[in-house]
A and B are shown apart, each in its own frame.
Chain A
Amino acid sequence: MIELKEVNKTYVSGKNVVEALKNISFKIEEGEFVSVMGPSGCGKSTLINIMSGLDSAESGKLIINGKNITKMTEDELSSFRLNTIGLVFQEFHLFRMLTAKENVILPLQFLDLNNKNERGEYLLKKVGLEKRINFKVLELSAGEKQRVCIARALATDPKLILADEPTGNLDSDSSIEVMKIFQKMKKDNETILMVTHDKEMASFSDRILKMKDGILEE
Chain B
Amino acid sequence: MFRLALKMLLNKKLRLVLSSLGITIGVFIMIFILCISVFPSTGNIEGGIYKDITISEKGKISAEEEITGSVDENIANKIKNIENINRVAPVVETFLFFIEDNKIVTQIPSLFLGIDTEYLPLFKVKEGEYYSKNDKNKIIISKAFSEKYRLSIGDIVCVIPSKTIHAGIVSSENKKEVEITGIFENTETPNDAIVFGSYSTGKYLNNFQDRATVFYVELKDVKKVEETKNEMKEKLKDCNVEVKVETKKVKIFRIFENLTSTILFIVALFNVAFSSFKSISSNASEQEKEIGMLKAIGIPKRAIVKLFIYQGLIISALGCFVGIIVSAIFLEKFNEIFISATGITAKFFALSPQVIFYAVLFPFLAAFLVSLYPAYKVTKTKTIKMLKSR
Bound CA span A107–B295, Å: 10
Alpha-carbon gap, A74 to B8, bound state (A): 25
Q: Are B290 and A95 in contact (CB under 8 A)?
A: yes
Complex Cα distance, B384 from A49, in Å, reads: 8
B33 to chain A, nearest CB (A): 38
Residues of B within 8 Å of A74, CB to CB, are 301
Within 8 A of A (CB), among B271-324: 290, 292-301, 303
Q: Which residues of A contact B387 (CB under 8 A)?
A: 54, 93
- A156–B298 Cα distance when bound, in Å, is 11
Q: When A and B form their complex, which 4 residue pairs have the shortest distance between CB atoms, in order from nearest?
A: A82-B298, A81-B298, A97-B11, A93-B293
Interface flag for B255 (CB, 8 Å) = no
On whether the beta carbons of A110 and B303 are closer than 8 Å, the reply is yes
Pick the contact of B7 from A75, A78, A85, A98 — CB < 8 Å?
A98
Contacts A95-B7, A98-B4, A106-B4; A79 near B384 (Cβ below 8 A): no
Contact A96 B298 (CB under 8 A): no
Are A54 and B290 interface neighbours, CB within 8 A? no
Given A54-B384, A55-B384, A93-B387, the answer on whether A106 and B10 have CB atoms closer than 8 Å is no
B383 on the A face (CB < 8 A): yes
Interface members, chain A 77-113 (any B CB < 8 Å): 78-83, 85, 87, 89, 93-98, 106-107, 109-110
The residue in chain B whose Cβ has the minimal distance to the Cβ of A109 is B1
Q: Which residues of chain B are within 8 angstroms of A110 by Cβ–Cβ distance?
A: 298-300, 303
Q: B: which residues have CB within 8 A of A?
A: 1, 4, 7-8, 10-11, 290, 292-301, 303, 382-384, 387
Report the Cα distance A82→B10, complex, angstroms: 27
CB distance from B294 to the nearest CB of A (A): 8
Q: Known A54-B383, A55-B384, A95-B290; judge A107-B8 contact (CB<8 A).
A: no
Closest to B383 in A: A54
The yes or no answer to A197 lying at the interface (CB within 8 A) is no
Known A95-B7, A106-B4, A110-B303; contact A80-B384, beta-carbon cutoff 8 A: no
Known contacts A54-B296, A80-B298; A96/B384 CB under 8 A: no
Q: Collect the chain A residues with CB atoms within 8 Å of residue B382's CB.
A: 55
Near B by CB (< 8 A), chain A positions 125-153 give 152
B1 proximity list for chain A (CB < 8 A): 109
Q: Is the CB of B297 within 8 A of A75?
A: no
At the interface, is chain B mostly helix, strand, loop or mixed? helix
- Given A54-B384, A110-B303, verify A82-B4 contact (CB < 8 Å): no
CB contact list, A39-73 vs B, under 8 A: 49, 52, 54-55
- Can you name 14 A-B residue pairings with CB atoms under 8 Å? A75-B301, A82-B298, A83-B298, A93-B292, A94-B293, A95-B7, A95-B290, A98-B7, A106-B4, A106-B294, A109-B303, A110-B298, A110-B299, A156-B298
A95 touches which one: B293, B298, B300 (CB < 8 A)? B293
Which of chain A's residues have a CB closer than 8 A to the CB of B290?
A: 95
CA distance A10 to B276 in the complex (A): 41
| Complex-state Cα separation, A93 to B387, whole angstroms | 8
Measured between alpha carbons, how far is A98 from B3 in the docked complex, in Å?
10
Residue of B nearest to A75 (CB): B301
What is the CB-to-nearest-CB distance from B378 to chain A, in angstroms, rounded to a whole number?
A: 13
Interchain CB contact (< 8 A) of A96 among B4, B11, B292, B303: B11
Tell me if A95 and B297 are in contact (CB < 8 A).
no
Q: A75–B298 Cα gap in the complex (Å)?
A: 9
Chain B residues contacting A89 (CB-CB under 8 Å) are: 296
| Chain B positions within 8 Å of A94 at CB level | 293
* Chain A hits for B292, CB < 8 A: 93
Q: Are A97 and B295 in contact (CB under 8 A)?
A: no
Note all chain B residues with C-beta closer than 8 A to A78.
Answer: 295, 298-301
**C-alpha spacing A84/B299, complex, angstroms:** 13
Distance of A95 Cα from B8 Cα, bound (Å): 8
A75 is contacted by which of B294, B296, B300 (Cβ under 8 Å)? B300
Chain B residue with the shortest CB-CB distance to A78: B298
- Contacts A54-B384, A109-B1 given; indicate if A97 touches B8 (C-beta within 8 A): yes
Chain A residues with CB under 8 A of B299: 78, 82, 106-107, 110
Query: Which chain B residues border A93 with CB–CB below 8 Å?
Result: 292-293, 296, 387
B10 touches A79 (CB 8 A): no
How close is A156's CB to chain B, nearest CB, in angstroms? 8
- Taken together as a complex, chains A and B put the C-alpha atoms of A106 and B299 apart, in Å, by 9
Q: Is the Cβ of B300 less than 8 Å from the Cβ of A79?
A: yes
**Which residues of B have CB within 8 Å of A79?**
298, 300
For A81, list chain B residues within 8 Å (CB).
296-298
**Considering the chains assembled together, what is the distance between the CA atoms of A109 and B303 in angstroms?**
10
Complex Cα gap A160–B4 (Å): 27
Give the distance to chain B from A41, nearest Cβ to Cβ, in Å.
Answer: 15
Residues of A within 8 A of B294 (CB): 106
Residue of A nearest to B295 (CB): A78
Chain A residue nearest to B386 in the complex (CB): A54
Min distance, Cβ A91 to any Cβ of chain B, angstroms: 8
A75 to B290, CA, bound (A): 19
Contact B7 A82 (CB under 8 A): no
